Structure 1
Amino acid sequence: MGLSTAFTELFGVEHPIALAPMGGSAGGALTAAVSRGGGLGLLGSGNGDQDWLARELPVLVDECTGNPWGIGFQTWAIDDGVIARTLEHNPTAVMLSFGDPSPFVERVRSAGAALILQVTDVEEARRAVDLGADVIVAQGTEAGGHGARHGRSTLPFVPLVVDLAAPVPVLAAGGIADGRGVAAALALGAAGALLGTRFQATTEALVAPATARAIVEGHGEDTERNRVLDIARASRWPAQYTARTLGHPFLDEWRGREDELATAPHAQEAYEDAVAQGRIPALPQWASEAIDLINDLPSAADLVGTLAAQAEDALARAGRR
């Protein structure tokens, strides 16, 4: 029967499912696969690195075959020039996360792209409404990768944002890795779900094979929100955003000692040496609490349809009860 929502109608997609624009790992092939599968693929540009975009955007355009697609940025890490250059490729949507999106709103809007704003607390949600977001993503703390240090869990946060933002469509994000999670998002009043970690474990994702295996084999209790790995690798991520990752030797060594780590250059040098020698992953292994539900590495295009079918079945079973 299909799941028609305000989100699917806005973008003309078949399923209420979007790819989280995970910096670096949501490349052109993954983004295109999600869009071909009937969802909305969002390219994970992160800080708008021009070399990365020059490599991944042609792949996306070639493989997307006319389907809608978008691109996401870490708002704190970009400038107006990044947005302007990206809009030359005519994305259907631009998603902005983590930081003040107001400097970029009018440029996105004037280009005719839909504006998607991700929020991690109520204040951000109110600002997104005031800025005229076309879609709001409500991200709970169960999400893999970065999110608010003092955020809210997905289950209570999503309906709060839905009520606050109405009639603007809301996507739920954080701890969603199968069709039951998509169904739950819809039951909470969201117009769809945005998934990240589940799509990292696909054949098209730009992740190291060891990271894909770690996600498939991992468990929710293996994940932890922390700033240790950002500090160790000298990342500029603002302190108010922690990251949920799988376990890591540096996390075990420096947990609770972040201030000390920030002033210990020898520790950062040790981190770089360990990466160079292959003793630790080149990047932290971002992972959602929902990784227990991930046990295979399918094509992302097939996965979108599977998630939608599971969601329909879950809603039908709930209705029968």
Structure 2
Amino acid sequence: MAFSTALTRMFGVRYPIVSAPMGGSAGGALAAAVSRGGGLGLLGAGDGNRELLARELPLVADCGRPWGVGFLTWATEVAAVERVLEHRPDAVMLSFGDPTPYVERIRAAAGTSYTKVILQVTDLDEARQALDLGADVIVAQGTESGGHGARRGMSTLPFVPLVVDLVASASASVPVPVLAAGGVGDGRGVAAALALGAAGALLGTRFQATSESLADPSIVKAIVEGRGRDTERNSVLDIARGATAWSSSKYTARTLGHAYLDRWRGREAELAASAEAQQAYQDDVLRGAVPPLPVWAGEAVDLVTDLPPAAELVARLAAEAEEALGRAVGR
């Protein structure tokens, strides 16, 4: 099946499948493998750490296929985005926080008309801002997603059509492509995203469990063995690990179960005030009693049961999506 959506046409990719720029997991090798497999691979640049970019950018910048980089907006300096632009990415994705200064910089960069701006949104106010800023692509993230997302957002099924409709009503010409994110773990989810009016899907948890992922083996093992019923959106682990910018924001994180969650659930204020408890968390990480990072995992984690190469996974997702769409129309 030849997939043709606003996303595939914009980037010249074969499949409407994008790998999320997950900090600590989505390195250059993973992004390159996704792109070579026919999707759009995004390197997770996080806060734009210089050493990380120096190490990982060369792995994807020369992959010969469209690729991009994703940043945590609230934690990134404009200079980090400028360093990435020197490598001529096809896309820069911005998530969480006001993207205005970064969008302006990308637009102003001489000769970077090829770089598309992807803005992730978790509610309709953020979607409206993304439109006002002239986003080339909008990622509508539902609350099923792993990692950080809206504390009081909407699930993917109703949220994506709302964003699609908002974009259509605000567009005088061709609507901005919308990607569905959150709870997509196989090709059926990709097909569902297309049925909702999205131009493709952005997957995170599923791509953490690939052979190119940078995630710690203990985290990958937990994802492969994890269950969606065990995931929980919370701020406890951000507080425990001293991530104050996250814990004081409107964003919480969906993770698998964790000893500190059970210990401090409902006692977040007490945890935030206890330097001893936060030090105990760091000590437990050092001695291996808890994972090096919380296990960011979405509700689709049940669908993650193996550890394939990323390019192989992209092809599998596309085949599953084709089959699902064929069943839907009775083929």
Q: TM-score range by the shorter chain?
A: over 0.9
Counterpart-to-counterpart distance in 2, 1:188 and 1:139 = 13
Q: Could you tell me which of 301, 307, 311 is aligned with 2:311?
A: 301
Counterpart-to-counterpart distance in 2, 1:31 and 1:256 = 38
Bigger mean CA offset, 237-246 vs 14-23: 237-246
C-alpha displacement of 1:78: 1.0
Residue by residue over 1:278-320, the C-alpha shift from the partner in whole angstroms, topping out at 9 and shown as x without a partner, is 1111100000100111111000011001101100110010101
C-alpha displacement of 1:60: 1.8
Which consecutive residues of structure 1, in runs of 5 or more, have no partner in the other structure? none
Secondary structure, in 3 states, of the residue corresponding to 1:285?
Answer: coil
Contact 2:61–2:89 under 8 Å retained in 1? no
Counterpart-to-counterpart distance in 2, 1:18 and 1:108 = 21
Counterpart-to-counterpart distance in 1, 2:13 and 2:271 = 46
Contact 1:116–1:133 under 8 Å retained in 2? yes
Residue by residue over 1:191-212, the C-alpha shift from the partner in whole angstroms, topping out at 9 and shown as x without a partner, is 0000000000100001111111
Partner in structure 1 of residue 19 of structure 2: 19
Secondary structure, in 3 states, of the residue corresponding to 1:57?
Answer: helix
Counterpart-to-counterpart distance in 2, 1:103 and 1:158 = 26
Counterpart-to-counterpart distance in 1, 2:15 and 2:214 = 23
Counterpart-to-counterpart distance in 2, 1:5 and 1:224 = 33
Contact 1:227–1:239 under 8 Å retained in 2? no
Which consecutive residues of structure 2, in runs of 5 or more, have no partner in the other structure? 169-174
Counterpart-to-counterpart distance in 2, 1:7 and 1:319 = 22
Amino acid at match of 2:273: T
Partner in structure 2 of residue 220 of structure 1: 228
Partner in structure 1 of residue 81 of structure 2: 83
C-alpha displacement of 1:246: 0.5
C-alpha displacement of 1:56: 0.8
Counterpart-to-counterpart distance in 1, 2:235 and 2:283 = 20
Secondary structure, in 3 states, of the residue corresponding to 1:320?
Answer: coil
How do 1:164-179 residues align onto structure 2 when only pairs under 5 Å count? 164-166=166-168, 167-179=175-187
Counterpart-to-counterpart distance in 2, 1:107 and 1:305 = 35
Bigger mean CA offset, 80-89 vs 285-294: 80-89
Residue by residue over 1:155-210, the C-alpha shift from the partner in whole angstroms, topping out at 9 and shown as x without a partner, is 00000001111311000000000000000000000000000000001000011111
Counterpart-to-counterpart distance in 2, 1:118 and 1:61 = 22
Partner in structure 2 of residue 194 of structure 1: 202
Amino acid at match of 2:239: I
Contact 2:231–2:299 under 8 Å retained in 1? yes
Q: Could you tell me which of 253, 259, 262 is aligned with 1:249?
A: 259
Counterpart-to-counterpart distance in 2, 1:56 and 1:291 = 26
Residue by residue over 1:60-117, the C-alpha shift from the partner in whole angstroms, topping out at 9 and shown as x without a partner, is 234x1x1010000011111211111111111110000001101111211232210000
Amino acid at match of 2:181: A
Does residue 107 in structure 1 map to residue 100 in structure 2? no
Secondary structure, in 3 states, of the residue corresponding to 1:94?
Answer: strand
Amino acid at match of 2:160: V
Counterpart-to-counterpart distance in 2, 1:124 and 1:162 = 13
Q: Could you tell me which of 310, 317, 328 is aligned with 1:318?
A: 328
CA root-mean-square deviation: 1.0
C-alpha displacement of 1:118: 0.3
Partner in structure 1 of residue 71 of structure 2: 73
Secondary structure, in 3 states, of the residue corresponding to 1:266?
Answer: helix
Secondary structure, in 3 states, of the residue corresponding to 2:270?
Answer: helix
Counterpart-to-counterpart distance in 1, 2:28 and 2:178 = 25
Contact 1:2–1:312 under 8 Å retained in 2? no
Counterpart-to-counterpart distance in 1, 2:72 and 2:215 = 19
Partner in structure 1 of residue 237 of structure 2: 229
Runs of 4+ aligned residues of structure 1 deviating over 6 Å after TM superposition are: none
Identity of aligned residues (%): 69
Residue by residue over 1:218-272, the C-alpha shift from the partner in whole angstroms, topping out at 9 and shown as x without a partner, is 1101100011111111113242110000011111101111111111000011001
Partner in structure 1 of residue 171 of structure 2: none
Counterpart-to-counterpart distance in 2, 1:90 and 1:254 = 45
Counterpart-to-counterpart distance in 2, 1:248 and 1:53 = 30
How high is the TM-score relative to the length of structure 1?
Answer: 0.98
Partner in structure 2 of residue 92 of structure 1: 90
Bigger mean CA offset, 105-114 vs 261-270: 105-114
Counterpart-to-counterpart distance in 2, 1:79 and 1:211 = 29
Partner in structure 1 of residue 172 of structure 2: none
Counterpart-to-counterpart distance in 1, 2:189 and 2:80 = 34
Partner in structure 2 of residue 132 of structure 1: 134
Secondary structure, in 3 states, of the residue corresponding to 2:45?
Answer: strand
